[in-house]
Chain A
Amino acid sequence: MKPDVKEHKDKITKESYFTYHHKSGADLIFSQNGYSTSAAIYTCKYGGSDVSFLYGGKRYDTPRGIAHFLEHKLFETEDGGDAFDLFSDIGADANAFTSHRETSFTFTSSNDGFYKALRILLGFVHTPHFTKESVEKERGIIAEELRMYDDSPDNRCYYELMKCLYKFNNVRYDVGGTADSIKEITPQLLYFCHNVFYDPSNMALIVSGGVDIKKVIEIMDEMIPQKKHIKTDVIRSGEPKRVNIKISDIKMEVSSPLFGFGIKDTDTEDRERMRKKSVALSILSNLLFGESSAFYCEAYENGLLSGDVDAGYYFSGDHAYLSVFGESKKPYTVRKRIKGIIEKTIAEGVDKKEFERCKRVFYANFVYSLQNSQSAAYSLLSFYHSNDDMSKYPTLLSGIGADFAVECLKEIYGDDRIGFSVVGPVSQ
């Protein structure tokens, strides 16, 4: 029987991809191209923030860092071996990562080796094997990973900003948990959380490359277990509109201060509007603070900023914020300047021609993201987790206007919604 595959084609770039809902409940998102390598990502809607949940009507509170711990441990195979060895036999390059809302397992391989690698991927993700000894060993490795991130000024600056913005949301905590929280993780807890969240109906397979979709579906039939779905609801706390803390200023061994400026946006319920708002505010933050902005170019030339800036608007399910990260000897001057530019923009609007220039940048970045199998798979993953249709992005982008973007900025802006984090040198 011909699988019920839906094609999504973008009229502007002529690029297309396909979706298919597998009988196990898992989604398949697939794009075909002429590259010599293919990439797959098997993703689960379970991340570092999902520590408290209702399962079969009962509440469970689990230790922070357990989703990330599970990501590490799933590579252990039933015979006590390692899935990396299996990938390695066919030269596939495998990896995994955990964010606040998702855990993903990925590989790239030659087109020839793809099907074998896909069997390995789907096999180990659905076949957990944990022992007391192996969990204990992993605790040591993860503790070192946490220390490494704790020593990273960029990482600290980001989490300090999250702590400024959010009072209850778990995004203010490190995805990996803490040295103390990971001590509470046991094999039993890992099995339990795997059973709850690694339900195919909570997962999606993303494939990009020169491979055959029918064969991919056959392998899904073979490798993904049929499971009785039990209702699971992650418990998410509401957030006040105002920030938790206005300013966090910590000291570390850094050459010059790092800063993170953020505006908290709690108005995220209307999903259709959020699709447009996300794009509009991403363009606008790039226009106002990106590397072609008057703000950045002047501050760079005058030495107020050094290196690059990272400006954008981020939306992930239950939280959204506009942020500008960078490095400056005078972070508080930068803060004042950013606020001034936003207030001026709200009062006076922006040049429509300049806004169109920035839209062109976003269109180009969209095409750049499709330039190889791996990058295209990551792009599909990002759209999947945003519940968005990638093929509609270029059309959506072309329809966004400058006035709408300014209106969105006005909506989210307020003095009590601004958080600011600084990681300054110990000597200052």
Chain B
Amino acid sequence: MKINKKKIKEGIDLTVITDPKFKTDVVSVSFLTGEGTEAAVCSSLTAGVLSRSSARYPSLLELNRTLDLLYDAQLTTDAARRGLTHIPVFTIRSLNNRYSLDKTDIRGGCLDVLYNIITDPATNGDNFRSKILNSEKVQLTEAINAIRNNRSGYALRRCTGELMKDEERFAPRLGDVETVAQTRKGELNRFYKNMMKNAPVRIISSSADDDGRINEFAEKLGETLGGRKDGSVSEPEFRAAQKKPERVVEEFPVSQDVLCLGCTYDCSAGDGNSAARALFHEIFFQNPTSRLFVNVREKLSLCYYCSAAPMSDLKKMIIYAGVDGKNAEKAEDEIRKQLELIKKGVTEEELQRGRQAIKNDLLSICDSPSRIAGWYASRELYGSDETPAEFEAKLGLITPDDIARVASSVDLSLVYTLKGTAENEA
């Protein structure tokens, strides 16, 4: 595997990953925009509006059929959030040209579509078309509301909101429905223009070979966008947990409770502890031999799933489980007990297993063009260019004391329960 990095212009960076074993190509362009609810909504709407049409492809039908002819090229746009920064990400994934049956230049076509949808949106004069914007507002509202359909996802979102309620600059990834309703095309237009002019840009490509065209694409995009001040993701200040955890209960007509233990997590993506944290996560909740799985699920049979969502970029962690209401207290006690126990240390055997599991995962990452692109994308947001091999070397240096230290930076702050009120029909 080869990695080449290049500064296209100030604030626009290109990373090219090549490995002949890849069958597919992935190219993504990320814009680091702003913070807060308005940025979240505008980031989501921009991603939505740009991915469904452009001046050249005025309808979703024309765009999708063009992608089909490029051997089902997958254009996806994601309104991501890292720390407090909202990041529209435009990604195109396609088959490598060697799989083209009729000499269609898949790669050339995909780079052309990606450039076109980012730089040449469908507009009426200077503004996004009202019809497209209004339709995308309806879709975004539906997407925000649809989080309720995924019970554990909804509970995690609500718990995150409660944990972050004192952080004014924080907003949920997609924003909220009220702000969506209030957003006018002038605001979205200003957001888009500002993004194109000022937002730091990261371009990442992974493919079987490098024929120089990704560089041409990046140079062309750089010429259109122009240089800008570089920047990275902004993180919230760490806020210590309250001495007595707050309790929030929300009733919901489902048969199973979702118990969420919201914790503060005193860490930072760039603090040099990422290897110790990865091992802590592995040992505490990440696999079927983890402390939570073995004790809460296997030994006490309290749940089917018990895991955690670490959000080191927000300095929070949520430990969650789906439990029968009558077992919720017992599950909470056991999870809290396990959290305190892991702060006292882990065994050499657990550490060794954790290392093996992560090493295996690093190999899988290197086998996948999408996952290796994601690896570099997430690190570059924090100005790091650490390779999987360098990360693996760090794992070997971590001691049980290091794990205890990072585990000790997790403190319970909030117990949020999505309380099931429906009869069990299972």
A interface, CB within 8 angstroms of B: 12-13, 33-37, 82, 84-85, 88-94, 108-110, 113, 137-154, 178-179, 252-256, 258, 291-292, 294, 297-298, 300-303, 306-307, 327, 357-358, 360-361, 363-365, 367-368, 370-374, 426
Contacts and interface: CB of A to CB of B under 8 A. Distances in A.
A151 B143 contact: no
Contacts of A144: 256, 302-304, 322-324
A253 B253 contact: yes
Contact of A255 (B145, B297, B363): B145
A90 B357 CA distance: 8
A255 B367 contact: no
B424 A150 contact: yes
B360 A12 contact: no
B99 A13 contact: yes
B24 interface: yes
A34 B24 CA distance: 14
Given A35-B367, A292-B68, A372-B368, A151 B323 contact: no
Interface stretch (B30-38, B146-154, B265-273, B310-318): B146-154
Nearest to B363: A36
A300 B64 CA distance: 13
Nearest 6 pairs between A and B by C-beta? A91-B356, A140-B301, A255-B145, A146-B426, A364-B72, A306-B142
B139 interface: yes
A12 B149 contact: no
A84 B289 contact: yes
Contacts of A149: 426
A302 B135 contact: yes
A116 B369 CA distance: 27
Given A142-B304, A292-B68, A372 B424 contact: no
Given A37-B360, A363-B71, A368 B95 contact: yes
B18 interface: no
Residue of A138, A153, A292 with highest tally of chain B CB at under 10 A: A292
Contact of B99 (A113, A179, A298, A367): A367
B287 interface: yes
Given A292-B67, A371-B24, A307 B364 contact: no
A88 B358 CA distance: 11
A306 B359 CA distance: 40
B167 to A, nearest CB: 26
Given A150-B425, A292-B65, A303-B135, A88 B289 contact: yes
Given A113-B360, A148-B304, A151-B254, 13 more contacts: A12-B101, A34-B21, A36-B364, A91-B355, A91-B359, A110-B359, A110-B360, A144-B323, A148-B305, A150-B424, A255-B145, A291-B64, A303-B138
Contacts of B24: 367-368, 371
Contacts of B101: 12, 360, 363
A88 B149 contact: no
Interface in B53-69: 59-61, 64-65, 67-69
Contacts, number: 198
A275 B147 CA distance: 38
B60 A365 contact: no
B132, B138, B302, B356 — most chain A CB neighbours (10 Å): B356
B141 to A, nearest CB: 9
A141 B68 contact: no
17 contacts: A84-B287, A90-B356, A92-B360, A110-B363, A140-B301, A141-B298, A148-B256, A255-B146, A255-B148, A258-B149, A301-B131, A306-B138, A367-B23, A367-B71, A367-B95, A371-B22, A372-B367
B143 A179 contact: no
B142 A327 contact: yes
Contact of B255 (A91, A108, A151): A151
A183 B65 CA distance: 52
Given A140-B302, A360-B71, A93 B357 contact: yes
Contacts of B323: 144
Contacts of B289: 82, 84-85, 88
A82 B298 contact: yes
Contacts of A306: 138-139, 142-143, 146
Contacts of B420: 151
A312 B373 CA distance: 31
B72 A154 contact: no
B218 to A, nearest CB: 24
B61 A297 contact: yes
A361 B146 contact: no
Contacts of A84: 287-289
B168 interface: no
B353 interface: yes
A307 B353 contact: no
A147 B255 contact: yes
Nearest to B324: A144
Contacts of B72: 360-361, 364-365, 368
> Which of B52, B138, B252: most chain A CB closer than 10 A?
B138
B366 interface: yes
B326 to A, nearest CB: 12
B361 interface: yes
Contact of A88 (B69, B151, B287): B287
A301 B135 contact: yes
A151 B422 CA distance: 9
Contacts of A364: 71-72, 95, 99
B304 A145 contact: yes
B304 A141 contact: yes
Nearest to A251: B253
A108 B364 contact: yes
Interface in B212-265: 252-256
